[in-house]
């Protein structure tokens, strides 16, 4: 498996893991009758701060997947993963770090670190897009 394919699969799996965690916690809340089955909104706004951060971390992954995943898919289907392979693991790591920080805290320091992790992904994405367009 190429680094690009691994990172793409990892990105999808991480997004899925956040969804599974969110739905498991929601199921627990329903089965313990803390929340009615129809008592959820997409942002978990009526739930705990952690659940709200979890919903936002998952949404962040869904927002980034078409962009960063799309660039990796383009590289893979055009046989140019040599352009994305070197930084693909860093992109995946930055995504996981961003989500983990999001889940852990909303302090000013955490928000700064979370933005830094996103900035890494953004820089990699811009670099990949430029390289793929010029190839």
CB 8 within 8 A of CB 68: no
Looking at the structure of the chain, the number of domains it has is 1
Residue 27: domain span = 3-134
Number of C-beta neighbours around residue 93 at 10 A? 15
Does pTM surpass 0.85?
yes
CB 28 within 8 A of CB 93: no
Sequence-distant (6+) residues with CB within 8 A of 109 are none
pLDDT of residue 37: 87
- Distance between CA atoms of 8 and 122, rounded to whole angstroms? 15
- Distance between CA atoms of 49 and 79, rounded to whole angstroms? 44
Residue-wise pLDDT for 12-53, tens only, equals 999 999 999 999 999 999 999 998 888 888 777 888 999 999
Q: What CATH number corresponds to the domain at position 125?
A: 1.20.120.550
């Amino acid at each position: 498996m190429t680094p690009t394919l691994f990172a793409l699969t990892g990105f999808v799996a991480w997004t899925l893991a956040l969804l599974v965690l969110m739905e498991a916690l929601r199921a627990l809340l329903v089965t313990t009758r803390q929340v009615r089955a129809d008592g959820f909104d997409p942002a978990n706004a009526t739930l705990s701060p952690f659940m709200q951060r979890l919903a936002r971390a998952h949404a962040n992954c869904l927002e980034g997947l078409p962009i960063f995943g799309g660039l990796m898919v383009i590289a893979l289907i055009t046989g140019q993963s040599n352009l994305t392979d070197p930084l693909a693991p860093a992109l995946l790591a930055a995504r996981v770090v961003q989500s983990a920080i999001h889940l852990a805290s909303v302090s000013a320091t955490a928000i700064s670190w979370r933005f830094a992790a996103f900035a890494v992904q953004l820089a990699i994405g811009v670099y990949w897009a430029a390289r793929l367009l010029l190839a």
